[in-house]
Amino acid sequence: MDLLGASINAAVVAVVGALLAWLGKGRFDALDRRIDRMETRLDGRIDALESRSDNRIGALETRLDHRADTLEGRFDGLQASIDAMRSDLTQVALAVGVRPRAQND
């Protein structure tokens, strides 16, 4: 009799276990599909953000390049102005009678 009762209990446990596994599998499949949809949406948003940031970085690089060119032109103008002033000062010194220094080349 104990063997029959144990067999019935084992069969009931097996059936309930299989039923719970089947119900749980369906629930997990639904969760997997939901997560897949969320990942797809997030991928789209990330791609859009990357595109926007690439565009902004490109515009910023263009602005920085333009400003660097402008700054380089200003430095060239400043250097030319300093060179002209040095030349003028040399001419004034020579006109006053200062001897040129020996060059150390």
Q: Where are the domains of the chain?
A: 1-69
Sequence-distant (6+) residues with CB within 8 A of 26 are none
> Are 94 and 100 spatial neighbours (Cβ–Cβ below 8 Å)?
yes
Q: Alpha helix locations (H) across the chain?
A: 2-96
The amino acid present at 80, given as its one-letter code, is: A
Q: Which residue has the tokens 């002033």?
A: 85
Give Cα 49 to chain centroid, integer Å.
10
Binned at pLDDT 50, 70 and 90, residue 1 comes out as low
* Joined tokens for residue 65: 């390049």
In this predicted structure, the answer to whether residue 104 has a pLDDT above a threshold of 80 is no
Q: What is the pLDDT of residues 13-63, one digit of tens each?
A: 999 988 888 887 878 888 889 999 999 999 999 999 999 999 999 999 999
Q: What is the pLDDT of residues 76-102, one digit of tens each?
A: 999 999 989 988 888 888 888 887 777
- The pTM of this model reads 0.45
104: helix, strand or coil: coil
